[in-house]
Amino acid sequence: MTKTRTAVHHDASSSSGDPQAIGRMVTSYDVAKLAGVSQSAVSRCFTPGKSVSERMRTKIMRAADELGYQPNAIARMLITKRSNLIAVIVSNLSVNPDFASILSQHMIERGLNLLFFTLDQDADADRAIQQLWQYRVDGVISAAELSVEQIGVLRERGIPLVFINRLYDVMGANSVGCDHAEGEGWLIEKLVSAGHSRFGIVAGPEASVVSRMRLRGALDKLAALGCAAPQVVHSDFTYAGGREAMRGLCGGKKRPDAIVCANDLMAIGCIDEARLALSLKVPDDVSVVGFDGYAPGQWGGYQLTTVRQPVASMVKAAVDMLVARIEEPSMATEKRVFSGELVEGSSARID
């Protein structure tokens, strides 16, 4: 009775030779049989940090190579309760194309794999959370906003979570981000001290946390410097949205002399609208600044004055933080805030 399983395995492989030929997967039992050792020896051999004698190791490895054996991660996950899988959630608006690539590299270095979720519709977030839970991911990195309930679900289930570029004041929501308010403050300061006085602000969607933080930073600094309240319009973070917003801001009598955009893409739209439709010179007639460090903003025609987010640092910090929580789940919630880097382009009149 106790030998049933072993017998089955032996039968299967001895009755028809090469297991691959009959479409069965090569298991550690096949390797063990060929090498003439026990299955557990094979297992140890493929588990880093377990002691196996040199003789046995070579014998097993030879057999494994011959059969093309690779351990089945699924069976391993089931017993170790470690999937080495990290769920990465991004919203479709997500700007930075390097993001996935950088993240992927850091994961590779740590032997982690990346289960990818894109959020297009609102319902997608719930589905993503359900799926990543079913796959028993070791942790989650989110570049998308999640509801308090969704964060709560992850917390209850003990899945470590790190937000990237979404600073939340919610229990259990670790995050790494960029100091949006500080960055906007720098831009405003520069613009004011260069003599700008009529500000127009192109914010993002009202619901966007990032947009709100940037807007707040700009407004606070303007107030602190004693400037008149700026004209604020909300847009949608897109190029077309930027152009439209610019049209709106410059339609009135008192055209702004400085446009502060909540991201680079909209700033680019503003510049194009100014030059191509409004016949305004940038930065002579109007200064335009953005935020992000979007590559096209640095193309010859734009040379956007902006604040570059330290994406590489942020991503590395997020992975570090997540891994720390996976290894030590009781770690306290933490935020890491990086300063951006002021990029003085030529889209704004600054000293």
Partner DNA sequence: TTGTAGGCGTTATCAC
Partner DNA sequence: GTGATAACGCCTACAA
For DNA, the binding residues (CB under 7 A) are 2-5, 8-9, 24-25, 27-29, 37-41, 43-44, 46-47, 51-53, 55-56, 69, 71-72, 75-76, 78-81
d(C-alpha 346, C-alpha 271), whole Å: 11
State residue 139 phi and psi, 5-degree precision.
-170, 170
In the bound complex, what is the minimum distance in angstroms from residue 33's beta carbon to DNA? Answer: 11
Based on its alpha-carbon atoms, the radius of gyration of the chain, rounded to whole angstroms, reads 28
299 binds a copy of itself (CB under 8 A): yes
Is residue 301 part of the contact set for a copy of itself (CB under 8 A)? yes
Give me the sign of the Cα torsion angle 108, 166, 173, 120: negative
Among DNA, a copy of itself, none, what binds residue 237 when CB lies within 5 to 8 Å by partner kind?
Answer: none
Q: Which partner, DNA, a copy of itself, none, binds residue 239 by CB below 5 to 8 Å per kind?
A: a copy of itself
Taking the C-alpha atoms of residue 50 and residue 45, their distance in angstroms, rounded to an integer, is: 7
Among a copy of itself, DNA, none, the one that 135 touches (CB under a kind-dependent 5 to 8 A) is a copy of itself
Question: Which of a copy of itself, DNA, none is residue 40 near (CB under 5 to 8 Å by kind)?
Answer: DNA
Q: Which amino acid is at 71?
A: P
Could you please report the per-residue DSSP string of 306-350?
EEE--HHHHHHHHHHHHHHHHH-TTPPP-EEEE--EEE--SSS--
Q: Which stretch binds a copy of itself (CB under 8 A): 29-37, 100-108, 249-257, 279-287?
A: 100-108
Residue 156 C-beta: closest distance to DNA, Å: 17
Determine the length of the chain: 351
Contact between 308 and a copy of itself by CB under 8 A: the answer reads no
For residue 114, give the 3-state DSSP assignment: strand
If the CB atoms of residues 91 and 231 are measured against a copy of itself, the closer one turns out to be 91
CB of 46 to DNA, least distance (A): 5
Q: Of residues 104, 150, 231, 339, which one binds a copy of itself by CB under 8 A?
A: 104
Select the binding partner of residue 49 from a copy of itself, DNA, none (C-beta < 5 to 8 A, by kind).
none
275 binds, among a copy of itself, DNA, none (CB under 5 to 8 A by kind): a copy of itself
DSSP-derived secondary structure for 235-297: --SSHHHHHHHHHHHHSSSS--SEEEESSHHHHHHHHHIIIIIS---TTTT-EEE-SB--GGG
